[in-house]
Amino acid sequence: MSERKNRMRSTPIVQPIIKSQIPSRRMRLSLGKFCTVAALTSLVVLISLTNHHYFGRRYAQDAGQNIQRPRRPGVHIGPPPNKATPEMIEVPPRDEDAPPTQKLIPVSLHCKKVCTSGFGSDCYSIDKAILVYRDKVPTKYMKFRQNSYPVVYVPQPADGETLPEFQEIERCNMDDHFPDMFLIPQQERCAVVGNGGILSGSGCGEAIDDHDFILRANLAPLEGYEADVGHHTDLTAINWETLNRLHSSVVQSGTSNLDNRILLERIKKLHKSILWYPKSLHKLYQREMLRKLTATLKDNKFMDIQLAFGWKAISIEKEWGLEGFATLGFDMFAVARTFCANVTLYGFYPFNEGPHGERIPHHYYEDMDFQYQTAKHDFVLEFMKLQDLQTKGEIKLQTRACRKRSGV
């Protein structure tokens, strides 16, 4: 009996659960929502603190923050001293009556032409201008930005009048608005040399080299073909395919790559000449490809060529009534007319059969099957337009041999 009482005392007494003490379904849902909101709020705070820590330094200059960083002797960190922002520039008063500060506002200059400096300066339509970077410009500052108008700062009218954001003007001076670049001077006699097979066995090399300025296309080989195509070059134009090939072989591949060695040997022969990309550089990756190629050629390969691009992508199809896209050779010709008094074209012959029924290879250095009339390019239509200009006496289109080669 006593043992039974002891067991009863040691056994915990289970209290009956009162229904009112059980949380209701509504209460459980409210509690769940509260926990969810609290968790999201904590996440937002955490993200904000993270962004401030990792990205605050990057945008501190734009936001006007003053980030304290370790300094090295003689090194200035942060925005340059006394450098004004585009929104407002503080200038000293010019006379006693002038206000202590004066606001200047940016105005974009929409230039119709760009011109060299000095008396009798050369001017070119900005749509066809070839902008050549000066040798002194480091490659990291070569941005290759197209459709970029110069900006000047003008005093804000005292009466509060609103000035237009841009102003159309007839001409812009290169030294004032594009100081890192220069224009090709006016030339008397220019040779625009295509790569057509009509040059094979033409003996036109000496005649081509006799010109004041020589334009060529896509790094076509000269060694071994000098008798027909000459060996001097002042400007080489490249299209997107060649730019992509150069970037792949020269920038991304090593010197063990055969195409790399072939292209570099051809570029080395462009001593003191211009490498020009006339097409679109609207997208950042296109500009980066050209900039990295430039850095590789000039900084690592000891090339002394000058890099050039168009202020805008050369687009002459509407002007010349072309279907599809103009070929690179026709682009070269159209731009050459802006700075050349007399233009002679060589290697422009889009046919596989010559005047006397002879076989004409596609290129003077190789033969391949090729369609000269497609939806993209119409070589025959371009050739007909060149013939019309020759009939009018505006250009010379060389389609015959200049002289017989020795031993022929």
Q: Please enumerate in sequence order all residues whose Cβ is within 8 A of that of 281, keeping only pairs 6 or more positions apart, or say none.
A: 144, 145, 146, 287, 290, 309, 313
**pLDDT: which is higher, 191 or 4:** 191
pLDDT of amino acid 388: 97
pLDDT at position 241 over 90: yes
Give the rounded percent of residues in the chain with a pLDDT score beyond 90.
Answer: 53
pLDDT of amino acid 55: 35
pLDDT at position 287 over 50: yes
Residue 121: pLDDT band by 50, 70, 90 thresholds?
A: confident
pLDDT of amino acid 30: 67
The ranges assigned to domains in the chain are 104-182, 187-398
Residue 251: pLDDT band by 50, 70, 90 thresholds?
A: confident
pLDDT at position 74 over 50: no
CATH topology of domain 187-398: sialyltransferase cstii, chain A (3.90.1480)
Torsion, Cα 254 256 257 261, to 10 degrees, reads 100
**pLDDT: which is higher, 263 or 60:** 263
User: 22-26, 122-126, 208-212, 218-222: which has the minimum mean pLDDT?
Assistant: 22-26
**pLDDT: which is higher, 140 or 130:** 130
User: Which of 126, 89, 83 is CA-nearest to residue 106?
Assistant: 89
pLDDT of amino acid 317: 96
pLDDT at position 356 over 70: yes
Assessment of whether the complete model's pTM goes beyond 0.75: no
pLDDT at position 9 over 70: no
pLDDT of amino acid 322: 94
Phi-psi region of 35 (alpha: psi -120 to 50; beta: other; left: phi over 0): alpha
Q: Which tens digits make up the pLDDT trace of 330-342?
A: 999 999 999 999 9
User: 11-15, 201-205, 386-390: which has the minimum mean pLDDT?
Assistant: 11-15
Q: Which tens digits make up the pLDDT trace of 131-170?
A: 999 988 998 899 999 998 898 888 888 777 788 888 899 9
Distance CA 367, CA 94 (A): 71
Q: Across residues 217-236, what is the average pLDDT? A: 96
**Range of 104-113, 259-268, 382-391 with top mean pLDDT:** 382-391
pLDDT at position 214 over 80: yes
Q: Please enumerate in sequence order all residues whose Cβ is within 8 A of that of 324, keeping only pairs 6 or more positions apart, or say none.
A: 317, 374, 375, 376, 377, 378
Mean pLDDT of the chain: 80
**pLDDT: which is higher, 350 or 66:** 350
pLDDT of amino acid 349: 97
pLDDT of amino acid 390: 97
User: 5-14, 157-166, 213-222: which has the minimum mean pLDDT?
Assistant: 5-14
pLDDT at position 37 over 70: no
Distance CA 90, CA 102 (A): 6
Cα separation values, 209 from 192, 193, 231, 273, 342, Å: 11, 11, 7, 14, 15
